[in-house]
Copies of this chain bind each other. A is one copy, B any other.
Amino acid sequence: MATTPRVRMDRDSRRELLLDHGVRLLATHAVEELSIEMLADEAGVSRGLLYHYFSNKKDFHQAVVRRAADDLIAQTAPQSAGEPTELLARSLEAYVDYVRANHQGYLSLVRGSAGGNEVLREIYEEARMSMTSRIFELSTKEELASLGITDSPGVRLMAHGWTALVEDVVLEWVRDPRGIEKPRLIDSLTASLLGVTQGVR
Protein backbone atom coordinates (compact mmCIF):
# COMPACT_ATOMS: atom_id res chain seq x y z
CA MET A 1 0.00 0.00 0.00
CA ALA A 2 1.27 3.42 -0.96
CA THR A 3 1.31 5.97 1.79
CA THR A 4 0.73 9.66 1.29
CA PRO A 5 3.35 11.74 3.01
CA ARG A 6 1.85 13.76 5.82
CA VAL A 7 2.20 17.33 4.72
CA ARG A 8 1.82 20.05 7.25
CA MET A 9 -0.39 22.56 5.54
CA ASP A 10 0.23 26.23 6.11
CA ARG A 11 -2.44 28.43 7.55
CA ASP A 12 -3.45 29.99 4.22
CA SER A 13 -3.87 26.67 2.39
CA ARG A 14 -5.93 25.33 5.25
CA ARG A 15 -8.12 28.43 5.24
CA GLU A 16 -8.63 28.01 1.47
CA LEU A 17 -9.67 24.39 2.01
CA LEU A 18 -12.16 25.46 4.66
CA LEU A 19 -13.55 28.05 2.24
CA ASP A 20 -13.97 25.27 -0.34
CA HIS A 21 -16.24 23.59 2.16
CA GLY A 22 -18.02 26.86 2.85
CA VAL A 23 -18.71 27.47 -0.84
CA ARG A 24 -19.96 23.88 -1.14
CA LEU A 25 -22.46 24.62 1.63
CA LEU A 26 -23.62 27.64 -0.38
CA ALA A 27 -24.97 25.30 -3.06
CA THR A 28 -27.78 24.27 -0.76
CA HIS A 29 -27.88 27.00 1.91
CA ALA A 30 -28.42 30.72 2.01
CA VAL A 31 -25.47 32.81 3.20
CA GLU A 32 -27.28 33.87 6.37
CA GLU A 33 -27.93 30.20 7.24
CA LEU A 34 -24.25 29.29 7.27
CA SER A 35 -22.81 28.82 10.73
CA ILE A 36 -19.40 27.94 12.09
CA GLU A 37 -21.01 24.72 13.47
CA MET A 38 -22.19 23.75 10.01
CA LEU A 39 -18.74 24.30 8.54
CA ALA A 40 -17.18 22.26 11.38
CA ASP A 41 -19.50 19.33 10.51
CA GLU A 42 -18.87 19.67 6.77
CA ALA A 43 -15.10 19.90 7.11
CA GLY A 44 -14.85 17.38 9.95
CA VAL A 45 -12.95 19.70 12.24
CA SER A 46 -13.64 21.26 15.61
CA ARG A 47 -15.43 24.57 16.08
CA GLY A 48 -12.50 25.77 18.11
CA LEU A 49 -10.15 25.29 15.18
CA LEU A 50 -12.48 27.27 12.92
CA TYR A 51 -12.39 30.27 15.23
CA HIS A 52 -8.67 30.23 14.57
CA TYR A 53 -9.42 31.02 10.91
CA PHE A 54 -12.56 33.14 11.13
CA SER A 55 -12.94 35.56 14.00
CA ASN A 56 -16.74 35.46 13.91
CA LYS A 57 -19.75 34.55 11.81
CA LYS A 58 -19.73 37.84 9.93
CA ASP A 59 -16.08 37.39 8.99
CA PHE A 60 -16.84 33.82 7.90
CA HIS A 61 -19.82 34.90 5.74
CA GLN A 62 -17.76 37.62 4.13
CA ALA A 63 -14.88 35.24 3.36
CA VAL A 64 -17.24 32.66 1.83
CA VAL A 65 -19.00 35.25 -0.33
CA ARG A 66 -15.68 36.77 -1.41
CA ARG A 67 -14.50 33.29 -2.41
CA ALA A 68 -17.77 32.47 -4.20
CA ALA A 69 -17.50 35.75 -6.12
CA ASP A 70 -13.86 35.05 -7.03
CA ASP A 71 -14.86 31.57 -8.24
CA LEU A 72 -17.60 33.10 -10.37
CA ILE A 73 -15.27 35.72 -11.84
CA ALA A 74 -12.61 33.06 -12.55
CA GLN A 75 -15.05 30.55 -14.03
CA THR A 76 -16.68 33.06 -16.34
CA ALA A 77 -13.35 34.48 -17.53
CA PRO A 78 -12.92 33.83 -21.27
CA GLN A 79 -10.52 30.90 -21.69
CA SER A 80 -8.85 32.23 -24.82
CA ALA A 81 -9.02 34.96 -27.41
CA GLY A 82 -11.81 35.08 -29.95
CA GLU A 83 -14.64 37.07 -31.43
CA PRO A 84 -16.42 39.22 -28.83
CA THR A 85 -19.74 37.38 -29.26
CA GLU A 86 -17.97 34.02 -28.98
CA LEU A 87 -16.23 35.12 -25.77
CA LEU A 88 -19.54 36.38 -24.47
CA ALA A 89 -21.35 33.13 -25.24
CA ARG A 90 -18.65 31.15 -23.45
CA SER A 91 -18.79 33.43 -20.40
CA LEU A 92 -22.56 33.10 -20.32
CA GLU A 93 -22.38 29.34 -20.48
CA ALA A 94 -19.96 29.30 -17.55
CA TYR A 95 -22.28 31.64 -15.68
CA VAL A 96 -25.29 29.39 -16.27
CA ASP A 97 -23.29 26.37 -15.07
CA TYR A 98 -22.20 28.29 -12.00
CA VAL A 99 -25.71 29.40 -11.08
CA ARG A 100 -26.98 25.85 -11.64
CA ALA A 101 -24.27 24.35 -9.42
CA ASN A 102 -24.64 26.97 -6.68
CA HIS A 103 -28.32 27.73 -6.94
CA GLN A 104 -29.29 28.29 -3.30
CA GLY A 105 -26.16 30.17 -2.49
CA TYR A 106 -26.34 32.35 -5.56
CA LEU A 107 -30.00 33.10 -4.95
CA SER A 108 -29.21 34.06 -1.38
CA LEU A 109 -26.40 36.26 -2.63
CA VAL A 110 -28.76 38.06 -5.00
CA ARG A 111 -31.40 38.47 -2.34
CA GLY A 112 -29.02 39.06 0.54
CA SER A 113 -27.02 41.62 -1.40
CA ALA A 114 -30.25 43.58 -1.66
CA GLY A 115 -30.49 43.45 2.12
CA GLY A 116 -28.54 45.27 4.76
CA ASN A 117 -24.95 44.08 4.34
CA GLU A 118 -23.01 46.65 2.29
CA VAL A 119 -19.83 44.54 2.06
CA LEU A 120 -21.70 41.53 0.66
CA ARG A 121 -23.52 43.82 -1.76
CA GLU A 122 -20.26 45.26 -3.05
CA ILE A 123 -18.63 41.86 -3.52
CA TYR A 124 -21.70 40.62 -5.34
CA GLU A 125 -21.99 43.71 -7.56
CA GLU A 126 -18.34 43.30 -8.52
CA ALA A 127 -18.89 39.68 -9.57
CA ARG A 128 -22.07 40.60 -11.36
CA MET A 129 -20.43 43.35 -13.37
CA SER A 130 -17.37 41.34 -14.30
CA MET A 131 -19.01 39.79 -17.34
CA THR A 132 -20.25 43.04 -18.83
CA SER A 133 -17.15 45.07 -18.13
CA ARG A 134 -15.01 42.35 -19.71
CA ILE A 135 -16.82 42.84 -23.00
CA PHE A 136 -15.66 46.44 -23.04
CA GLU A 137 -12.17 45.70 -21.77
CA LEU A 138 -11.43 42.78 -24.06
CA SER A 139 -12.94 44.18 -27.21
CA THR A 140 -11.29 46.82 -29.31
CA LYS A 141 -13.26 49.87 -30.40
CA GLU A 142 -13.30 48.39 -33.90
CA GLU A 143 -14.69 45.06 -32.69
CA LEU A 144 -17.43 46.84 -30.74
CA ALA A 145 -18.17 49.06 -33.74
CA SER A 146 -18.44 45.99 -35.96
CA LEU A 147 -21.21 44.81 -33.59
CA GLY A 148 -22.96 48.17 -33.85
CA ILE A 149 -21.90 49.19 -30.33
CA THR A 150 -20.30 52.53 -29.53
CA ASP A 151 -18.94 52.79 -26.00
CA SER A 152 -20.80 55.64 -24.25
CA PRO A 153 -22.43 56.37 -20.88
CA GLY A 154 -25.79 55.34 -22.37
CA VAL A 155 -24.39 52.03 -23.62
CA ARG A 156 -22.70 51.35 -20.26
CA LEU A 157 -25.98 52.08 -18.48
CA MET A 158 -27.86 49.63 -20.72
CA ALA A 159 -25.09 47.04 -20.31
CA HIS A 160 -25.42 47.39 -16.53
CA GLY A 161 -29.13 46.69 -16.92
CA TRP A 162 -28.33 43.73 -19.14
CA THR A 163 -26.48 42.03 -16.26
CA ALA A 164 -29.71 42.33 -14.24
CA LEU A 165 -31.56 40.74 -17.16
CA VAL A 166 -29.09 37.86 -17.39
CA GLU A 167 -29.31 37.22 -13.67
CA ASP A 168 -33.09 37.27 -13.69
CA VAL A 169 -33.39 35.05 -16.78
CA VAL A 170 -30.84 32.48 -15.59
CA LEU A 171 -32.33 32.24 -12.07
CA GLU A 172 -35.80 31.84 -13.58
CA TRP A 173 -34.54 29.26 -16.06
CA VAL A 174 -32.74 27.22 -13.41
CA ARG A 175 -35.92 27.29 -11.31
CA ASP A 176 -38.09 26.27 -14.29
CA PRO A 177 -36.41 25.52 -17.65
CA ARG A 178 -39.85 25.49 -19.38
CA GLY A 179 -38.54 23.29 -22.17
CA ILE A 180 -35.80 25.69 -23.22
CA GLU A 181 -32.48 23.95 -23.91
CA LYS A 182 -29.25 25.51 -22.63
CA PRO A 183 -27.77 26.33 -26.07
CA ARG A 184 -30.96 28.18 -26.99
CA LEU A 185 -30.83 30.08 -23.70
CA ILE A 186 -27.21 31.07 -24.34
CA ASP A 187 -28.09 32.21 -27.87
CA SER A 188 -30.92 34.40 -26.60
CA LEU A 189 -28.80 35.92 -23.87
CA THR A 190 -25.85 36.57 -26.18
CA ALA A 191 -28.09 38.22 -28.77
CA SER A 192 -29.77 40.27 -26.06
CA LEU A 193 -26.60 42.20 -25.16
CA LEU A 194 -26.41 43.37 -28.74
CA GLY A 195 -30.16 43.96 -28.68
CA VAL A 196 -29.95 46.35 -25.75
CA THR A 197 -26.74 48.18 -26.71
CA GLN A 198 -26.89 48.39 -30.50
CA GLY A 199 -28.03 51.76 -31.75
CA VAL A 200 -27.92 53.35 -28.28
CA ARG A 201 -26.47 56.84 -28.67
Contact = CB atoms under 8 A, between A and B. Distances in A.
Contacts of A201: 184
Interface in A106-144: 110-115
B200 A188 contact: yes
A166 B161 contact: yes
A169 B180 contact: no
Nearest to A114: B114
Contacts of A184: 154, 201
Contacts of A112: 114
Interface stretch (A18-26, A57-65, A79-87, A191-199): A191-199
A54 interface: no
Contacts of A111: 114-115
Interface stretch (A4-12, A45-53, A171-179): A171-179
Interface string A85-111: 000000000000000000000000011
Contacts of A199: 191
A165 interface: yes
A44 interface: no
12 contacts: A112-B114, A115-B115, A157-B172, A161-B169, A161-B172, A163-B168, A164-B164, A164-B167, A165-B196, A191-B200, A192-B195, A194-B195
Given A111-B115, A191-B200, A195-B195, 19 more contacts: A111-B114, A114-B115, A153-B179, A153-B180, A154-B178, A154-B180, A157-B172, A157-B178, A158-B169, A158-B188, A160-B169, A160-B172, A161-B165, A161-B166, A162-B165, A163-B168, A164-B167, A191-B196, A192-B196
